[in-house]
Amino acid sequence: MSNPIVGELIDLLQLERLEENLFRGQSRDIGTKYVFGGQVLGQALSAAQATVDSETSDRNAHSLHAYFLRAGDIEAPIVYQVDRTRDGGSFSVRRVTAIQHGKVIFFCAASFHTPEPGSEHQLSMPEVPRPEDIEPAPPLSPEELAKLPTKVQRWLDRSGPFEFRHVYPRDELNPPKRPPYQQVWFRLADKVGDDPELHRALLAYASDFHLLGTATFPHGISYYQPNVAMASLDHALWFHRPFRADDWLLYSIDSPSVQEARGLARGQIFDRHGKLVASTAQEGLIRVGKAG
């Protein structure tokens, strides 16, 4: 693997096993004030997948439902405790609790299913330009970066493990009011192996990018603004079909409602051939204080 940032993410998702159902994961500072929600999603799914043993090894994760309870400390490891809630004839359920400094910061339920034949349909992928036809976003100049709050500088002045190409780019520093939907192509910045469990954990990590931000579009605000506070409250993820996180995927997102300082966003993830591979939903906190 030639990209060290991708290698670092892979290491982050490969947890240390402390006991049969107990795991420890490290945290990575990606420029956010607290632990990035996608990191906890990916690590929790990795922990759950590690407890699907030889008797149920044919089962794949098909859904994840999570709640974020407390902000995570970037400087401290996270312990993941897995409860083997049920192993049935064709489904298994795992409940994962994430603990830091003796307190629960997150919990989720993940369901696994043995593949079986059945009817099939899907909604069509939106007609958008291919990722190769979209220019990567140019980096901000040092002068522009220096005008931003410290938290935003740290977030923007870095290269992440995923590459994003927005079909309809928005100026996040001076956001216009727009309808609450967007499409974003994304892929891992380097090739990795064929392990489907790794690719699902990588997609769980990436699914937290750009989702809640779509709910801010009609209001002309952005996470980059110092008077805007945003945080994920819950997250749902469904896996529909096989995919690779290191090939281009289209994230098609809309936000049906914002109210009482909470916004709801939904996403559909398609591969470059138009197959719907996953769906997401998230509610998050959106608070706007006085400017300046």
Tell me the per-residue pLDDT of 140-164, one tens digit each, with 9 for 90 and over: 777 777 767 666 666 665 678 999 9
Is 120 inside any structural domain? Answer: no
Strands in the chain per DSSP E: 16-19, 22-25, 60-68, 78-87, 91-100, 103-113, 162-166, 181-188, 228-239, 249-259, 262-271, 276-288
CATH of the domain at 258: 2.40.160.210
For residue 122, tell me if it sits in a domain. no
Task: Give the tokens for residue 137.
Answer: 């976003």
pLDDT of 59: 95
Q: Which domain holds residue 163?
A: 4-114+130-288
Residue 35 resides in a domain = yes
Q: Mind telling me the catalytic residues?
A: 208, 232, 282
What is the pLDDT at residue 157? 56
Does residue 233 lie within any of the structural domains? yes
Condensed to tens digits (0 to 9), the pLDDT of residues 189-240 reads: 999 999 999 999 999 999 999 999 999 999 999 988 888 999 999 999 999 9
Q: Side chain identity at 231, as an amino acid letter?
A: A
Per-residue pLDDT at 64 exceeds 60: yes
Q: Report pTM.
A: 0.94
Within a domain: residue 279? yes
228 assigned to some structural domain: yes
Residue at 125 is within a domain: no
Number of domains present in the structure of the chain: 1
Burial letters 231-241, b for 16+ CB under 10 A, else e? ebbebbbbbbe
